[in-house]
Chain A
Amino acid sequence: QVQLQESGPGLVKPSGTLSLTCAVSGVSISSSSWWTWVRQPPGKGLEWIGEMNHRGSTNHNPSLKSRVTISIDKSKNQFSLKVSSVTAADTAVYYCARGERRYDSSGYYLDAFDIWGQGTMVTVSS
């Protein structure tokens, strides 16, 4: 089955760059999906960061856009997130997810995040 697994440093210094990778298994990253990052500060709700498809098209949350880079490595079947100039406000659990935009087997349109990684905690602190 499709699985996603995040990895990366759990501690990043203020003003540094947060870098995470999401390994995808069970499906090709070159499929029609949108590969997505979502974060959740401790005790708070969910925030969409951005997404990328295998053609290289990207969409980002305007509140983060200038600091965020999402990329795909087809050879490794994984995708990555970089957030620059981090502050304590970027401390969160970071999730990777698969975004689907397609018709399901019953003809209903699916636009949602149907598979999620387990999440990885990133703390911004000196």
Chain B
Amino acid sequence: EIVLTQSPDTLSLSPGERATLSCRASQSVSSTYLAWYQQKPGQAPRLLIYGASTRATGIPDRFSGSGSGTDFTLSISRLEPDDFAVYYCQQYDGSKYTFGQGTKLEIK
């Protein structure tokens, strides 16, 4: 099983700053099968990024994804109050989907 480890667990930033969230895989992941989701309290996750770097429909260009192999990054430029949430990375290895444990992005 491929284990995804996200860092940091919690990131405290102010609106207007840039956020950089990391997702590290226990073994190589095809970029095609790496996605990022945003989840706010009491809500379902929302797809942000798929294929490691492609924004989903309606996602602003402040969100960007990058990386390959075992290291992937979600960046959010110019944080807005609505961006403070928990972010999960997800991978598919051909037989099973797994998620990272999540990074909580909180207002400093």
Q: Which residues of A contact B (CB under 8 A)?
A: 38, 45-48, 59, 61-62, 95, 97, 104, 106, 108-114, 116-119
DSSP majority for the A interface? strand
Interfacial chain A residues near B43, Cβ < 8 Å: 118
**Interface band, chain B:** 20 to 34
Knowing A46-B45, A117-B44 are in contact, say whether A61-B102 is a contact too (CB < 8 A). Answer: no
Number of A-B contacts (CB under 8 A): 60
Q: Which residues of B contact A (CB under 8 A)?
A: 32-33, 35, 37, 43-47, 50-51, 54, 56-57, 88, 90, 92, 95-102
State which of A95, A104, A108, A109 has its C-beta within 8 Å of the C-beta of B44.
Answer: A95
Alpha-carbon distance A119/B54, docked complex (angstroms): 26
Alpha-carbon distance A113/B99, docked complex (angstroms): 12
Knowing A45-B101, A46-B88, A62-B96 are in contact, say whether A114-B51 is a contact too (CB < 8 A). Answer: no
